[in-house]
Amino acid sequence: MIALPPKFVAFDLETTGLVNRKDEIIEIGAVKFTVEVKNGRVVPKLISEFDTLVKPNMLIPAEATNVNHITDKMVENAPPVGEALKQFTAFCGPGSILLAHNANFDASFLRTAYEQNPQFTPGNPVVDSLAISKTIMPELANHKLGFMANMFMKRGEISMTIDEEKMHRSVYDCEMLMEVFVALLRRRLKEKEWEMGSIMQAMAKYKGVPQFIRK
């Protein structure tokens, strides 16, 4: 039993492109979860989910729509990014550890969006699951989230059934990240290291060194 398990928020952004100063956020998805021990194995325990489309100040390029299937019509009545950020901040809460797969990308977009829409900026640590994956399983040629999720599913290490058609929508990718993150760290961490007082130090050993949105 984990006496005081941490709370995590796996989050994912969909954007109009890859450049944080030029492109914009068009969807924010997140899942809040903790961990528990079931049948002698540490597994994720979902707490809640968050998802909002975001109305950008630009048209969504066709290349972006081809990846995330989000169209201009879909975001027509969505909140502007400033409002979406307030909702995201409230969802995360002050005590959770944020996770993203390739966190440099997602954190850079959030940093820019909070700068351009002045408001309370969360001080939560942001940990990169991609860096952890490359450290724990360096033998893999591919560390993409979908690949990792499929691999763990086939090995019976995660319970989620992977649906290729749902990938690249924020909440679904967050659910995959939750499963992959726990499966990865389960390979290295002792049960007691999953506790709130130990988890940050434990992750740091495997390149899970946090960055912060708030500078």
Q: Containing H/E element for 211?
A: strand 211-212
Residue pair 125/103 in contact (Cβ under 8 Å)? The answer is: no
Other Cβ atoms within 10 Å of 72 Cβ, number? 13
Dist CA 134 CA 193 (whole Å): 20
Task: Spot the catalytic one: 69, 101, 143, 168.
Answer: 168
Dist CA 205 CA 215 (whole Å): 23
CA torsion sign for 99, 105, 111, 117 is negative
Question: Does the active-site annotation cover 101?
Answer: no
Cβ-Cβ contacts under 8 Å for 209 (sequence gap 6 or more):
127, 131, 203
Structure tokens at 158: 């995660």
Dist CA 123 CA 135 (whole Å): 26
Structure tokens at 110: 């959030």
Cβ-Cβ contacts under 8 Å for 36 (sequence gap 6 or more):
2, 5, 42, 43, 45
Residues assigned a catalytic role? 168
